[in-house]
Amino acid sequence: MENHENSSSLAMGKSAQEMGLPYVPECYKTPSSHRPILTPETVDMPVINFARLRQSEEQRSMVIKELGNACRHMGFFRIVNHGICQSILDEALSSAFDFFKLPAEEKVKFMSNDVYKPVRYGTSLKDRIDKIQFWRVFLKHYAHPLDDWIDSWPQNPPNYRKNMYAKSSDLKLMQIAWHYSVEVRKLALELMGATTESLGIGPTYLAKKINEGMQVMTVNCYPPCPQPDITLGLPLHSDYSCFTILLQSSPGLQILDSKNGKWKSVPEVHGALEVHIGDHIEVLSKGIYKSVVHRVTLNSERTRISLASLHSLELEEKMETAKELVEEQNPKRYKESSVKDFLDFISKNDIGEGKSFMDTLKMKN
């Protein structure tokens, strides 16, 4: 007998993926045109050896060129030799797994559909509101400035704050597990300088604004799905940030190849990090660099965890196209906008139905 639950029948904290239902309810089924190919071609992605960025001027110049090509042609690349030790990556993933194993009463303390909340737990995108629901569970929290937000992070499991956050006075803990979000933010600041340098506007172009900007950690859990061919963990979208640095426990991420319109899978490489160019950089670069369109597919056997660290300007700080890239005969192509503008958009729109904030920024010249 087929089940026809709609989204309103799935109470908050009791979604299909949280309860481990052996079937996919109607409200999770994506239109046939959007359904995933579970064994697509693997993407041939650029790999940036970050250690070379810190070596000689000759090596740095070569890496800056490689980075620019990756941003221009794909908007997505992998970084290796990034300087974050493997134990930090492993313990960050382990802590995330532990959080999602907690009893429901612990997790629902953070349950909210309010996209403006700095710490919130949820499933799908907006639970019981969006027409189509998605097979994921997430914890999203602000992570910079850390002292402003750390006390609002989950206290359970006990190792969550410990592995995500280590105060410098705790030398023993620092030796065991550096603060993942601080380390990845250091990487993001360096990456931002390299990105603006590759655009020809200099490594310090947005240094002050990005240093004072936002970091949002989105910890995603994609439980096993009984019918991974008819639903998604997340629909196609681009990230409204300068960039997202991603750590994943197993494959599931797919990116849209802009050259041929085909979806391609991103393999998990132990110790590596993936970088998504976000909408902020597309606006800044006047479209020279493109934000990458991506989605998340599911697996019938294992849980997948990803830690996405999104880096942007301050909440209400507008990103605009660099004036150095604008000419009278080649004017702006995008309106300026802020993270607050994006949150306003997603609070009123269902991006699962293909509505894109980026489309609202493109100017008709």
Average pLDDT over all residues of the chain: 86
**Residue 351 near residue 240, CB atoms below 8 Å:** no
pLDDT of residue 132: 85
**What pTM was computed for the model?**
0.88
Q: What digits encode the pLDDT tens for the residues 91-133?
A: 889 888 988 888 888 888 888 888 888 888 888 776 666 788 8
Q: What digits encode the pLDDT tens for the residues 45-55?
A: 999 999 999 88
Cα–Cα distances in angstroms (integers) from residue 114 to residues 79, 126, 140, 288, in the given order: 33, 8, 11, 34
CA distance 180 to 31: 38
Instruction: Examine the pLDDT at 234 and tell me if it is beyond 60.
Output: yes
Pairwise pLDDT comparison (267 vs 153), residue with the higher score: 267
For 290-340, where are the E strands, in sequence order? 294-296, 304-312
Domain map of the chain by residue range? 39-361
For the chain, where are the E strands, in sequence order? 47-49, 76-80, 119-123, 137-142, 214-222, 234-237, 243-248, 253-257, 262-265, 273-277, 294-296, 304-312
Give the domain 39-361 fold.
Jelly Rolls (2.60.120)
Mean pLDDT of 250-261: 92
pLDDT of residue 6: 46
Q: What digits encode the pLDDT tens for the residues 304-349?
A: 999 999 999 999 999 999 999 998 888 899 999 999 999 999 888 8
